[in-house]
């Protein structure tokens, strides 16, 4: 690619002209700003002192040297300390002819023998259905996995199901108390929805008990601890850990309902996993690590029997690892899961896609693993992302104020159907084709709206805005792809050979599209390094926007010059492929027609 040639030429010129050692990969190239002539800009200020030249003089001397060394450079100009280099139209044309139309353009091939990068996402509790917050987690985890794969990493996608603990016991206890034997079959509810219903039911009755105890004169905090429902839930958790058959049988039945519901939602979202872990299978290993920490003296036991790690010297506080009754906490199982995962994969990196509300948790996890003597603790990376909020504020599962994932997908599909009918261009499609189109558009809108936001930022979700066919949305990019494929089909019907002779020069808007296409591999590499699908999403939007600007002002099939017409069709093929590849990283399908 031209970037590497330019970096090597600048490095060689700095050495030969000024005896400055600058490795090619340290030479920073920028895309030239639109108000200046050129394609690439090099900032020369870092070399001024060693070269003993003024910025303008140094830039001019480097420009002449680079032009002499790189045949594709046709001209250069200097604006203060900025060297702007112009690349020949012939280079851009050859790029479209030979590289950009390849099906794998921009995507590297992973080495299956390389140490894997393990990405954990989803990690639901089995006491409630998946909601909008889980959607961001799943879409981000899936897309980061696709992004790292596109950058050449050997990725393993894993899910840790939090299938035990006090939260699960709350749903179980409420079902026993108030369920009257209700099942998914008898109620017509998905299993995860049914169990979530009883999680909300527990909270309702628990609050009533607290209120009654407070009315009798008990302090609220003490009432929360002494409420009969909470005491019974804690007793149920202890019985579960002791292997009580009655509790375990109920647990397996209700979890089975939830898993069936989860699988249905995952399928609708288009996400999957290479391996699923269950907290019930890892917490015992975590308990063994806690005992190891006690034996090593890096953990301590309080008088009430609970086990803690003192992290005050690390700028944190004391962290509970085992409750006084011997039951484990989330940290316990995360220690066990981390060790199990390391032993199974010998991973290059262990990435946890978890909301920023758990920043403290993962700082503790790394510190405790390090204190236990595991030199791979630094491989743990918390991909911390912001919360999804609604116009009326945060969602709360225990109060039932959540946007259910299944309901949201259905709502998006109905909105897509309504918008497509308003456009009135799908009369020739069968009902099955239309149903598939509505689903593709709905998920494209949902995924793009969520993934285009920097993962570190909180976001406000607006379903109506997400599915607009104009602006920075998934449907806009999907529609652009369908439009391009329509052009290519018409070109094929006319017998246009888009591999024919290349044009001598390119129009400005034509060149803008080509240059954007050319940036795709570097965008993917940068996005992978930053774990940011948002960079890919916004690149896809820029490409679609540039193409539409070109399409509006430039004739394609009506172009009289056969060579120019053929090249523009080939440019269409390249743009469609790039949109397909980038949207694939986001988990979004692009329709052939709309």
Average pLDDT, stretch 141-163?
A: 97
Chain centre to alpha carbon of residue 472? 18
* H-run or E-run covering 450: helix 431-451
How much of the chain, in percent, has pLDDT values that exceed 70?
97
The 8-class DSSP code of residue 100 comes to: I
pLDDT tens sequence across 443-485: 999 999 999 999 999 998 877 788 888 889 999 999 999 999 9
Average pLDDT, stretch 502-519?
A: 90
Average pLDDT, stretch 316-340?
A: 92
Could you give the CA distance from residue 168 to residue 127 in angstroms, rounded to a whole number?
Answer: 5
* pLDDT over 60 (residue 400): no
* pLDDT over 50 (residue 543): yes
Which of 16-20, 283-287, 563-567 holds the top average pLDDT? 16-20
* pLDDT over 80 (residue 133): yes
pLDDT tens sequence across 47-74: 999 999 999 999 999 999 999 999 999 9
Would you state the structure tokens that stand for residue 323, as one six-digit string?
């409750």
Question: 121-273+343-399: CATH homologous superfamily?
Answer: HUPs (3.40.50.620)
* pLDDT over 60 (residue 171): yes
The 8-class DSSP code of residue 101 comes to: T
**Helix/strand/coil percentages in the chain, nearest 5:** 60, 10, 30
Which neighbouring-strand residues pair with 85? 40, 76
Using CA atoms, how far residue 101 sits from 93, 144, 588, in Å, is 12, 24, 20
Could you give the CA distance from residue 260 to residue 253 in angstroms, rounded to a whole number?
Answer: 11
Mean pLDDT, rounded, of the chain: 93
534, 455 contact by CB (below 8 A): yes
pLDDT tens sequence across 172-222: 999 999 999 999 999 999 999 999 999 999 999 999 999 999 999 999 999
Q: Which of 352, 346, 347, 349 is nearest to 365 (CA)?
A: 352
Could you give the CA distance from residue 215 to residue 210 in angstroms, rounded to a whole number?
Answer: 9
405-585 is classed CATH 1.10.540.10: no
pLDDT tens sequence across 262-283: 999 999 999 999 999 999 999 8
* pLDDT over 80 (residue 519): yes
Would you state the structure tokens that stand for residue 1, as one six-digit string?
């690619």
List the domain boundaries for the chain: 2-87, 121-273+343-399, 405-585
Q: Supply the pLDDT for residue 425.
A: 66
| 508 against 122, higher pLDDT | 122
Could you give the CA distance from residue 389 to residue 462 in angstroms, rounded to a whole number?
Answer: 9
Would you state the structure tokens that stand for residue 569, as one six-digit string?
């069709």
What is the CATH architecture assignment of 2-87? 2-Layer Sandwich (3.30)
Residue 235 burial (C-beta neighbours within 10 Å; 0-12, 13-18, 19+): middle
Q: Supply the pLDDT for residue 470.
A: 83
Could you give the CA distance from residue 277 to residue 285 in angstroms, rounded to a whole number?
Answer: 13
Would you state the structure tokens that stand for residue 489, as one six-digit string?
């089909």
């Amino acid at each position: 690619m031209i970037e590497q040639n330019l970096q090597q030429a600048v490095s060689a010129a700095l050495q030969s002209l000024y005896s400055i050692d600058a490795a090619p990969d340290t030479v920073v190239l920028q895309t030239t700003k639109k108000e200046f002539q050129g394609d690439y800009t090099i900032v020369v200020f870092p070399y001024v002192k060693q070269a003993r030249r003024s910025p303008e003089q140094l830039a001019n001397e480097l420009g002449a040297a680079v032009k002499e060394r790189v045949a594709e450079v046709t001209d250069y100009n200097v604006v203060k300390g900025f060297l702007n280099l112009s690349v020949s139209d012939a280079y851009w044309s050859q790029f479209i002819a030979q590289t950009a139309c390849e099906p794998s353009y921009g995507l590297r091939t992973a080495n299956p023998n390389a140490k894997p990068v393990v990405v954990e996402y989803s990690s639901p509790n089995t006491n409630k259905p998946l909601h909008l917050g889980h959607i961001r987690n799943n879409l981000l985890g899936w897309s980061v996995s696709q992004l790292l794969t596109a950058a050449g990493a050997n990725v393993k996608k894993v899910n840790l199901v939090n299938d035990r603990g006090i939260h699960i016991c709350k749903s179980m206890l409420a079902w026993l108390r108030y369920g009257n034997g209700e099942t998914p079959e008898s109620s017509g509810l998905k299993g995860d929805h049914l169990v979530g219903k009883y999680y909300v039911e527990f909270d309702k009755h628990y609050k009533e008990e607290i209120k009654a105890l407070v009315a009798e004169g008990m302090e609220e905090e003490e009432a929360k601890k002494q409420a009969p429902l909470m005491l019974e839930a804690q007793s149920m958790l202890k019985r579960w850990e002791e292997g009580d058959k009655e509790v375990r049988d109920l647990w397996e039945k209700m979890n089975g309902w939830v898993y069936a519901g989860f699988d249905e939602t995952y399928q609708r979202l288009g996400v999957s996993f290479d391996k699923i872990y269950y907290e019930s299978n890892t917490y015992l290993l975590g308990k063994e690590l806690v005992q190891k920490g006690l034996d090593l003296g890096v953990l301590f036991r309080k008088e009430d029997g609970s086990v803690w790690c003192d992290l005050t010297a690390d700028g944190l506080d004391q962290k509970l690892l085992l409750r006084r009754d011997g039951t484990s906490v989330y940290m316990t199982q995360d220690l066990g899961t981390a060790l199990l995962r390391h032993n199974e994969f010998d991973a290059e990196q262990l990435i946890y896609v978890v909301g920023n509300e758990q920043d403290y948790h993962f700082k503790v996890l790394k510190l405790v693993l390090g204190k236990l003597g595991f030199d791979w603790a630094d491989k743990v990376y918390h991909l911390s992302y912001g919360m999804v909020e609604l116009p009326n504020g945060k969602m709360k599962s225990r109060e039932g104020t959540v946007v259910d994932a299944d309901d949201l997908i259905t709502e998006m599909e109905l909105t897509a159907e309504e918008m497509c009918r308003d456009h009135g261009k799908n009369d020739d499609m069968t009902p099955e084709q239309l149903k598939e189109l509505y689903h593709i558009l709905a998920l494209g809108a949902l995924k793009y709206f969520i993934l285009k936001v920097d993962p570190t930022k909180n976001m406000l979700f607006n379903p109506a805005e997400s599915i607009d066919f104009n602006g920075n949305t998934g449907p806009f990019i999907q529609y652009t792809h369908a439009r391009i494929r329509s052009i290519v089909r018409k070109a094929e019907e006319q017998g246009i050979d888009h591999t024919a002779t290349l044009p001598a020069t390119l129009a400005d808007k034509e060149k803008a599209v080509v240059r954007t296409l050319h940036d795709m591999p570097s965008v993917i590499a940068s996005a992978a390094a930053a774990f940011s699908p948002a960079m890919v999403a916004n690149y896809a939007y820029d490409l679609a926007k540039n193409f539409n600007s070109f399409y509006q002002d430039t004739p394609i099939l009506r172009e009289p010059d056969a060579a120019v017409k053929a090249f523009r069709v080939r440019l269409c093929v390249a743009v469609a492929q790039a949109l397909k590849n980038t949207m694939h990283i986001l988990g979004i399908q692009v329709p052939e027609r709309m």
